[in-house]
Amino acid sequence: MFEVNYLNKNKEKPLQFGEGIFTALGIGFFLLLVGSIFVLTPNLFGKTVDFFQDFALVDVPNTDIVFPGPKSPDMHMTVYQAAGQASIAACAFQIVILALRFIIPSTWYKRAETVGNIVLWGGTAFLIQAYLIDSTQWFAYWSLILVISGVSLIARTIVMAVSRL
């Protein structure tokens, strides 16, 4: 006989004690990362304020579109470098978390999510270096962030598909 509650049953393992550890590690890492970046980068707070004050509607190159962006994107290298360092650190942290997810048993969904995060943060770090620091192409950077987000979702899907084999 078909049971109504069958549809509501979670087919994955229920949240285990280890997931709380990952949450605590993530929050602690985030606070440590933000604090460290601001302590190690001289006047980052002031430069971040300057960055946001530089925003206006600007022309998107090779189009008739105006969009919010910095009027002088090449004047904010310190902010880009800090964001790039944070992205590299976040990617490295996600790699450690993925290893821990295999040591402390975790669901395949969470492992897939972590793989997607590695792709996202690694791609973001690359794009910051290539499109903000090296060539200061503000709108190209944001267009490619959308691409990296899609690649991240595909990476998650591939891990989930492989886990079902």
- Looking at residue 47, its pLDDT comes to 97
- Give domain status of residue 115, yes or no: yes
- Average pLDDT across the chain, whole number: 90
Report pLDDT for 104. Answer: 87
Residue 109's CB is within 10 A of a number of other CB atoms, namely: 14
pLDDT in tens, 136-160: 899 999 999 999 999 999 999 999 9
CA separation for the pair 60, 141 (Å, rounded): 12
Our CA angle for 27, 32, 35, nearest 5°, is: 125
Mutual orientation of helices 17-40 and 77-103 as an angle, nearest 10°?
160
Q: Which two tokens stand for residue 119?
A: 């792709």
Report d(CA 4, CA 48) in Å as an integer: 54
Q: Give tens-digit pLDDT for 75-132.
A: 999 999 999 999 999 999 999 999 999 998 889 999 999 999 999 999 999 999 999 9
Q: In this structure, is residue 7 part of a structural domain?
A: no
CB 139 within 8 A of CB 67: yes
Chain centroid to Cα 144, Å, comes to 13
Alpha-helix runs per DSSP H in the chain: 17-40, 44-53, 77-103, 108-127, 138-163
% of the chain beyond a pLDDT of 90: 81
Domain of residue 81 covers 16-163
| pTM, 2 dp | 0.84
Whether 2 is covered by a domain: the verdict is: no
Please report the pLDDT score of residue 58 as a whole number: 94
Is 49 domain-assigned?
yes
Sign of the torsion angle spanned by Cα atoms 105, 85, 122, 153:
positive
Backbone angles phi, psi at 70, to 5 degrees: -70, 140
Contact by Cβ (8 Å): 61, 92 = no
Band (5; pLDDT cuts 50, 70, 90)? low
**11 inside domain:** no
Count of domains observed in the chain = 1
Give me the mean pLDDT over the 52-68 stretch: 93
Residue 53 lies in a domain: yes
Q: Does residue 106 sit within a domain?
A: yes
Residue 60 placed within a domain = yes
